[in-house]
Amino acid sequence: MGTTGSQNVGRIPIDDNSILRLQEVTKVFCPGTIDEVKALDNINLDIIAEDFITVIGSNGAGKTTLLNIIAGVYPPERGGKLIVNGRDIANLSEHGHARYVGRVYQDPRTGTAAKMTIAENLSLAIMRGQKRGVGTAITKQRKELFRTVLVPLGLGLEDRLTALVGTLSGGQRQALSLVMATMSKPSLLLLDEHTATLDPKTARIVLELTQMVVSREKMTTVMVTHNMELALRFGNRLLMMHKGKIIVDLNHQQRINLTVSDLVDAFEKASGEQFVDDSVLLSSVDPMTRK
């Protein structure tokens, strides 16, 4: 099963604008034990420059594993490749991946350092992909730059550069995470359900900021979400995952008039299973329009 009904499965894409190509990427957790689980099953995917991909799927579908592999938290099984600029980075360390990949995590606490100031957090982010030496971290020029990147958020953070990040609210911290993930312009931005822990109003603000930053910087983005409405509203390409496989891959044309119930139908057709994931259905309320 898994391949039934999807014309897109196993497609080996051929595109020279590929920012990142995943080739035969498989990930098995706890191999050889009774807990063995194939979190990713032979994934082939081309992420094209300026794509904004939304990824949906039930719990355990492999969405987060996919992001972790791309971010280099762990390598894929032998034979799997992650090709960036013609170079396979699959076995590079996580900090090696960071040169290409910026990430905003689900929990605002994961993306920022609480006991350090806003300026210090941003200074850490500005050195993404560079060798960290003994140059002064917070200079006048950098502070100017930090103010310029913080002003568009409209949260007043530009006047609080010396405030400890631990004193910020969850929404403010997530907005800061977003700036930290994008300010040194990595090739790819990963958003891992980055509004899931925020209240609806804050989630809306962070989503608006996300849209603003992504379109302004023309960031190639992969956004994982549990929210089908969001997955349809955002981006230009939609992936649906199930049991470690990409079972639906819709481009902009294909998803333009799609509704949530179309997606559920597509899922059932592609996976050959009834769609029974409460968390996806329940969270299909759109925080962007909810009053």
Partner 1 sequence: MDIFSNLFPISLYEGLAYGLVAIGVYITFRVLSFPDLTVDGSFPLGGAVVSVLIINGVDPWVGTFTAFLAGMCAGLVTSLLNTALRINALLAGILMMVGLYSVNLMIMGRANIPLLREVTVFDEAAGLFGTDTSTTFSIIFMAALIIIVLAILNWLLRTDIGLALRATGDNEQMVRGLGGNTNLTTILGVSMSNGLVALAGAMIAQNQGFADIGMGIGMIVMGLASVIIGEGIFRPRGITGILLAVVGGAFAYRLFLGIALRLGLPPTDLKLVTAVLVVVVLAIPYIRKRLRHEWVPPAARM
Phi/psi zone of residue 66: left (φ > 0), alpha (ψ -120 to 50 degrees), beta? alpha
**Which residue, 30 or 134, has its beta carbon nearer to partner 1?**
134
3-state secondary structure of 245: strand
What is the closest distance, in whole angstroms, from the C-beta atom of residue 129 to partner 1 in the complex? 5
Q: With left for phi above 0 and alpha for psi between -120 and 50, is residue 58 left, alpha or beta?
A: beta
Cβ closest to partner 1, residue 100 vs residue 234: 100
CA 109 – CA 114 distance, rounded (Å): 7
Q: How far apart are alpha carbons 83 and 91 in whole angstroms?
A: 11
Task: Give the residue with the Cβ less far from partner 1, 165 or 207.
Answer: 165
Work out how close the CB of 132 gets to partner 1 at its nearest, in angstroms, rounded to a whole number.
4
Report in angstroms how near the CB of residue 98 gets to partner 1 at its nearest: 3
Q: Which is nearer to partner 1, 111 or 235 (CB)?
A: 111
Which of 110/215 has CB closer to partner 1? 110
Question: Which of 108/171 has CB closer to partner 1?
Answer: 108
Among left, alpha and beta (phi > 0; psi -120 to 50; other), residue 265 is: alpha
Write down the least CB distance from residue 206 to partner 1, Å. Answer: 18
Assess contact for 11 and 45: CB atoms under 8 A. no
Q: Which residues pair with 238 in a beta bridge?
A: 54, 250
* Residue 77 DSSP one-character state: S
User: Quick one: 135 or 278, whose CB is closer to partner 1?
Assistant: 135
Q: What is the nearest approach in angstroms of partner 1 to the Cβ of residue 55? A: 19
Q: Is residue 36 within 8 Å of 45, Cβ to Cβ? A: no
Which residue ranges make up the site for partner 1 (CB under 8 A)? 71, 93-96, 98-99, 102-103, 105, 109-116, 120-121, 123-125, 127-130, 132-138, 180
Could you tell me the strand order of the sheet in which 37-48 lies? Answer: 37-48, 18-29, 81-84, 87-88
Cα gap 104→186, rounded to integer Å: 12
Q: How far apart are CB 66 and partner 1 at their closest, in Å?
A: 16
Closest CB 48 distance from partner 1, rounded Å:
24
Give the angle subtended at the CA of 213 by the CAs of 209 and 218, to the nearest 5°: 150
